[in-house]
Amino acid sequence: MVNNERDSAVSPSVDGHPEPQRTDQGSGVEPAVSSVKPVVGILVDSPSRPWHARAFYRGCHLFVSLIFALLFRLRIAGREHIPPGGMLVCCNHQSHLDPVLVGLACREPITYMARDTLFKGWFAKLITYLGAIPIQRDGLGFAGVKKTLERLKVGEKVLIFPEGTRTPDGKMQALKGGLAVIARRAKVPLLPMAIAGAFEAWPRKQKWPSPKTIQMHIGPPISLEVVQSLDDESLTALLETEIRKCWVAAQATRAHRVGSDPTS
């Protein structure tokens, strides 16, 4: 569940492309302050994991949901957009809290990417139980791509941060390319979502997180038909547009909840 700013799972970004036209339904996002629900929800088991791993994940999910609801006033909008089955979950990257936040947003257990140096001792067993797969320090690598495709093909959701690194200033960065190839090979849709407030809670230069309000927004998935119909540049541009829509909605909802309180 750990993502390092030097561990980009995707290749260099592509700039200067025109914004593509969305061909599937639901290209917009819901109003910023509607459908805001508490973080605690019903978690659906994944049959691809052993029963003891599913039970452990469920217990952690419930416990951490309660903690984040209390400490960060975490709220999630758009959960109704999450379909069952395998897909790449694509989110902006604000802090070390992000993998946990995305896991709390999804009703099914998701697969996390963690650098291979973390797979040592008891911590390796912990993150493996939580669904982590090792990636090389300079990216996914062949083994990481293989495991990612395996998880997607058995119907699991795999988290990826298309920006590659945590934001240095709280703003969303341009997406890097590469995930389009994985999505097409696995024949899965892309699920855009965004986080607002995690940077305020735990910016890159801060040693420990602080209790700031965090809001998430989940957008409609980019269908498999659209994924397969667009080239890499167009698909990356479309995904960036959809994640930015989610980010704007999450920011607006968070601002509405926080009001003028500078401590939130």
Q: Model confidence over 56-111: pLDDT tens digits? A: 888 999 999 999 999 999 999 999 999 999 999 999 999 999 999 999 999 888 99
| CA 34-72-126 angle, 5° bins | 115
Which has the higher per-residue pLDDT, 137 or 159? 159
**Mean pLDDT throughout 258-262?**
83
**pLDDT of amino acid 39:** 56
Q: Model confidence over 7-59: pLDDT tens digits? A: 433 433 333 334 444 444 443 333 333 345 555 555 555 556 788 888 888 89
- Contact criterion met (CB below 8 Å) for 114 and 3: yes
Which has the higher per-residue pLDDT, 11 or 166? 166
**CA–CA separation, 75 and 105 (whole Å):** 9
Q: First vs last Cα of the chain: how many Å apart?
A: 26
Domain map (residue ranges) of the chain: 42-258
**pLDDT of amino acid 25:** 41
Strongest mean pLDDT among 47-56, 133-142, 148-157, 247-256: 247-256
Which has the higher per-residue pLDDT, 146 or 68? 68
Could you give the C-alpha distances from 44 to 55, 63, 117, 201, in angstroms and in order?
11, 16, 30, 29
230 HSE (CA, 13 A, CB side):
27
Fold of domain 42-258: Glycerol-3-phosphate (1)-acyltransferase (3.40.1130)
Please list the alpha-helical segments (H only) found in the chain: 51-71, 98-105, 121-129, 141-153, 179-186, 198-201, 224-229, 232-258
- Contact criterion met (CB below 8 Å) for 215 and 197: yes
